[in-house]
Each structure stands twice: as structure tokens, then as C-alpha cells.
């Protein structure tokens, strides 16, 4: 079987195929990031690198049996600009023909999500000589308009799968594939017919490392910025807030960008907790117009931090501070928090400071009020915590990267690749059905 992987990254598709025991004759990879290419060649030295997706010429490749790829999502994501596929002059692009016209005329495109049309160009070229080619495209959950645009271009509707079923990470994605399909509805539309993976019940506590190095812990300066952020938005009425999770929860998905702290995980002696962004009152008021693209607003103005209740992490990002853990350390109060009869209270260090440097109180999950940072509380119990970010190994586990995969790059690059990558076990689940469709060799 010959495979063409677009936007290959660290080659999560190739990892999934290896985990399934599928022998690949030729694996072509289109990728431009030199660090990701280096990682791929370290683990899969026989990979044939093709460079930019815009330069891929199908006529120069052997027959392709499987096309896979996850086109850039930033302009579709609710965390991004959400302007979909458009030119820098704000013309939205709804068809491949129009994209090719604009490309030929030298138009510039907004962001990178327009590269979906390169995926479609290549898929159409393959279909000319192999109409039965199998394909898989992944992207974020997006507005209905753009999801329908992608579905109509591909020729079928995708299946929505949350990585939380196979990992400790909430990562909701759409997967368009013809590996297994069904027809539904009045107009007999075609849908991807991949069943949901079995829920493995994996939680945050299951992927955390012991004895984490000091370099992963935040210092007092970072905590100060959190305090300033909270006070600034309190004055603006945006309702910046936070609350924690119990250990039996998940985190949100690893993401590609953003400077906000989307995940704070608290690890006292028995509990593990994690923060996730929720809409502020201001965000709720403007939601419809914001999601329709009629108005713009800073992400920090429309969201606040609140605890997850499912034991999972947030979406992995390339930004390390988007997934933070708070860990008990009675001997080090830098970036500490205190427990009281109302909840968990972050502060900058000394537990005797009860009203000057605190972020505020974080109410327990079993309290029925909305949980936001509050003002002064009277009783402080001397239990201190430190705040740290997830380690590369923990992020790798969130993406279900197998232990045999070798890493020879910086932490920064590893975070970036994982944030851009796939949850391998979800991809393996989808590709497992290809054995029913293709005559492939299995190791």
C-alpha cells in the first residue's frame, strides 16, 4: 500500500499504521517544518519527503492507495480568528475552482486554513487514475457554514470524535473518510460511518509523571502576571475567574497557539485539578454575533477559567502555559495556594498574606453557585502548592504517542509538534477499518 500524508508533521499517521501492523510500501510525506521532518526521518528513515503541499505533483508519484492529512485549522477554530478560508481582501472561498483561479492570479490568502483546497486539489488528481482511493481528513469542530463547505467539497459528511475516549485529553475533531460510509437522510447524503472508539476511562492522574524537574515549575513572576490579569479584568467587568477539577477528570485538547492559561491542574495529596476556559458574562452577551463573525473580541475578554468536571485535560497547544499543573509542595511556597472552608485560594507565596497578593478563592466543585474568583476570605489553612506545566512526556501521553517513538529535539519543538499533531489512537481506530476495504499486507 502506498500512502501520501499531507501536513505530515511528526508523522502521526505513520505511527498509527505501524501500531496497526500495516506494512507500507511507500510513504510520501508533505511537510515544511524542518524539526518535524527531522523527527520523522529519525523514526521512519524510509519516508519520502515532498516539501510544501502546494508543490505536490501526483503525476510524479506511484499510485496512491491512501491519502491522509489534517489541514491547518486556525481560521476555523473557535479559538482563532474564525474567518474560514478567504483572501486577504476578505473574499471567502467556497469551491476548489475558485481557489485555483485566485491562486493562478496571485492572490494572497488569509492564514493557512485555505490549504484545505490543496488537499482537495491533490485528492481530485488522485481520483483521476484511482477513483477508489481511500482518504482521511481531520480538522477542528467549526461553524456549520464551513463544516458544510468542507463536506460538500469532499463529497461526504465527517464523523465527530473526541480524543477523551482514548486518552486523558478533550480534543473534539471532525474526521472525513470514505474508509467506511453510510447513506442517510431524505437526500441520501453520504456520511463517514466510523463507530465511536470504546471509552477507556483514562484520566489526567493516569498520565502524570512522578519526580518532575524544577524547570517545569512556574516562578513568582508568572504568578504575579496571573494576579495582574485577574485584577485588570475584574475592573473591566470581564469576569476573569478560575476553579479547579478533581483528579478524576480530563484536560482540554493540546492546541497550536494562544497565550492564555487554559489548564491549571492542582495536585494535593489526593486530588488532581485542572482549569478550562468558559464564557464570561460579556462573552455570553456577544456570543451569537461573535460566532457569526459580525464582531471581534479578544479571547481573554470572552472567557474565564473554570474547572473541568470530567478528569481530562484541555486541548494540547504549542504554548506550554496552556496546560498547567498545580502540585503540592509544602516546602516551597512560590506560586502557592491555600485551602480554606470555601475552596482553594491561589496566592503568591506566604500563606499568611490573606488579602494582598491572592488571586481569589476557587470554590469547590460541589458548590451550586457559578465558580469564579472571589474577594477576600477569612480563614486560610496552611497547605501550599506549586504550579507547573505539563512535561513533554505527559503531553505525548495525552496524544497517545507510543513509548517506542524517539525524541531528539527541544522541549519547545516537542510541545509544538504534539500540539499540531493527531491523537494516534483515534487515527489507528479509524484506519483499522481499512483492512476490510484494501488488500494490504499486515506485519
The pLDDT, as a whole number, for residue 369 is 25
Query: To which residue does cell 500495516 refer?
Result: 22
Give the structural domain span for 224.
214-311+324-331+384-389
**Does residue 103 sit in the same domain as residue 164?**
yes
Question: What does the block give as the cell for 433?
Answer: 477499518
What are the pLDDT tens digits along the chain (443 aa)? 999 999 999 999 999 999 999 999 999 999 999 999 999 999 999 999 999 999 999 999 999 999 999 998 877 765 555 667 889 888 999 999 999 999 999 999 988 888 999 999 999 999 999 999 999 999 999 889 999 999 999 999 999 999 999 999 989 999 999 999 999 888 889 999 999 999 999 988 888 888 888 888 766 666 566 556 656 666 665 544 443 344 566 766 665 543 334 555 544 434 555 666 677 778 788 888 877 777 777 766 777 666 666 777 777 766 665 666 555 444 433 344 444 544 445 544 433 333 323 333 333 333 322 222 222 222 222 234 566 778 899 999 999 999 999 999 999 999 999 999 999 999 999 999 997 666 555 54
CATH value at residue 141: 3.40.50.150
**Does residue 24 sit in the same domain as residue 79?**
yes
CB neighbourhood size of 21 (10 A): 10
CB neighbourhood size of 285 (10 A): 12
**Does residue 153 sit in the same domain as residue 236?**
no
**Does residue 36 sit in the same domain as residue 185?**
yes
CB neighbourhood size of 254 (10 A): 31
Q: Could you report how far apart the first and last alpha carbons of the chain are, in Å?
A: 12
What is the rounded CA–CA span in Å between residue 139 and residue 74?
10
**Does residue 83 sit in the same domain as residue 192?**
yes
The pLDDT, as a whole number, for residue 227 is 55
Backbone angles phi, psi at 398, to 5 degrees: -60, -30
Q: What is the 3-state secondary structure (H, E, C) of 29-62?
A: EECCCHHHHHHHHHHCCCCEECCCHHHCCHHHCC
**Does residue 236 sit in the same domain as residue 163?**
no
Question: What does the block give as the cell for 213?
Answer: 524537574
**Does residue 19 sit in the same domain as residue 121?**
yes
**Does residue 146 sit in the same domain as residue 295?**
no
Domain count, the chain: 2
Tell me whether residue 361 is in a domain: no
Backbone angles phi, psi at 229, to 5 degrees: -60, -45
DSSP letter string over 175-194?
EEESSSEEEETTTTEEEE-P
The pLDDT, as a whole number, for residue 274 is 64
**Does residue 36 sit in the same domain as residue 93?**
yes
Tell me whether residue 440 is in a domain: no
| Cβ atoms 209, 393 nearer than 8 A | yes
**Does residue 19 sit in the same domain as residue 151?**
yes
**Does residue 187 sit in the same domain as residue 248?**
no
Q: Of 117, 6, 130, 14, whose CA–CA distance to 62 is shortest? A: 130
**Does residue 277 sit in the same domain as residue 304?**
yes
Tell me whether residue 410 is in a domain: yes
3-class secondary-structure state, position 398:
helix
Tell me whether residue 67 is in a domain: yes
Tell me whether residue 379 is in a domain: no
What is the rounded CA–CA span in Å between residue 116 and residue 241?
36
Tell me whether residue 270 is in a domain: yes
Tell me whether residue 363 is in a domain: no
Tell me whether residue 254 is in a domain: yes
Question: What does the block give as the cell for 204?
Answer: 489526567
Q: Where are the alpha helices (DSSP H) in 105-143?
A: 116-129
| Cβ atoms 46, 17 nearer than 8 A | no
Amino acid at each position: 500500500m502506498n500512502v501520501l500524508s499531507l501536513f505530515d508533521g511528526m508523522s502521526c499517521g505513520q505511527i498509527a499504521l505501524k501500531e496497526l501492523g500495516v506494512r507500507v510500501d511507500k510513504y510520501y510525506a508533505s511537510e515544511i517544518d524542518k524539526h518535524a521532518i527531522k523527527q520523522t526521518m529519525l523514526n521512519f528513515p524510509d519516508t519520502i519527503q515532498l516539501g510544501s503541499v502546494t508543490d505536490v505533483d501526483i503525476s510524479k508519484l506511484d499510485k496512491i492507495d491512501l491519502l491522509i492529512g489534517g489541514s491547518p485549522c486556525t481560521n476555523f477554530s473557535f479559538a482563532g480568528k474564525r474567518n474560514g478560508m478567504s483572501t486577504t481582501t476578505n473574499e471567502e472561498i467556497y469551491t476548489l475552482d475558485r481557489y485555483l483561479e485566485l491562486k493562478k492570479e496571485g492572490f494572497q490568502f488569509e492564514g493557512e486554513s485555505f490549504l484545505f483546497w490543496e488537499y482537495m486539489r491533490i485528492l481530485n488528481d488522485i481520483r483521476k487514475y484511482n477513483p477508489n482511493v481511500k482518504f482521511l481528513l481531520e480538522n477542528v469542530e467549526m461553524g456549520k457554514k464551513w463544516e458544510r463547505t468542507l463536506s460538500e467539497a469532499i463529497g461526504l459528511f465527517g464523523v465527530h470524535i473526541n480524543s477523551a475516549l482514548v486518552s486523558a485529553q478533550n480534543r473534539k475533531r471532525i474526521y472525513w473518510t470514505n474508509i467506511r460510509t453510510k447513506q442517510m437522510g431524505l437526500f441520501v447524503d453520504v456520511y463517514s460511518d466510523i463507530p465511536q472508539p470504546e471509552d477507556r476511562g483514562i484520566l489526567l492522574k493516569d498520565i502524570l509523571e512522578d519526580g518532575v524537574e524544577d524547570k517545569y515549575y512556574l516562578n513568582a513572576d508568572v504568578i504575579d502576571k496571573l494576579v495582574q490579569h485577574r485584577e485588570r479584568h475584574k475592573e473591566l467587568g470581564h469576569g476573569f475567574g478560575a476553579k479547579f477539577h478533581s483528579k478524576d477528570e480530563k484536560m482540554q485538547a493540546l492546541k497550536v497557539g494562544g497565550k492564555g492559561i487554559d489548564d491549571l491542574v492542582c495536585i494535593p495529596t489526593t486530588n488532581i485539578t485542572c482549569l478550562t476556559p468558559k464564557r464570561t458574562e460579556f462573552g455570553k452577551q456577544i456570543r451569537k454575533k461573535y460566532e457569526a463573525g459580525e464582531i471581534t473580541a479578544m479571547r481573554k475578554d470572552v472567557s474565564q477559567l473554570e474547572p473541568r468536571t470530567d478528569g481530562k485535560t484541555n486541548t494540547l497547544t504549542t504554548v506550554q502555559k496552556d496546560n498547567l499543573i498545580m502540585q503540592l509542595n509544602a516546602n516551597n511556597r512560590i506560586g502557592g495556594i491555600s485551602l480554606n472552608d470555601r475552596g482553594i485560594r491561589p496566592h503568591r507565596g506566604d500563606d499568611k498574606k490573606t488579602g494582598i497578593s491572592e488571586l481569589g478563592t476557587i470554590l469547590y466543585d460541589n458548590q451550586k453557585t457559578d465558580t469564579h474568583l472571589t474577594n477576600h476570605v477569612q480563614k486560610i489553612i496552611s497547605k501550599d502548592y506549586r504550579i507547573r506545566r505539563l512535561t513533554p512526556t505527559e503531553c505525548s501521553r495525552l496524544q497517545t504517542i507510543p513509548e517506542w517513538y524517539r525524541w531528539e529535539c527541544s522541549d519547545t519543538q516537542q510541545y509544538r509538534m504534539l500540539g499540531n499533531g493527531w491523537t494516534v489512537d483515534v487515527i489507528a481506530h479509524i484506519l483499522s477499518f481499512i483492512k476490510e476495504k484494501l488488500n494490504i499486507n499486515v506485519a
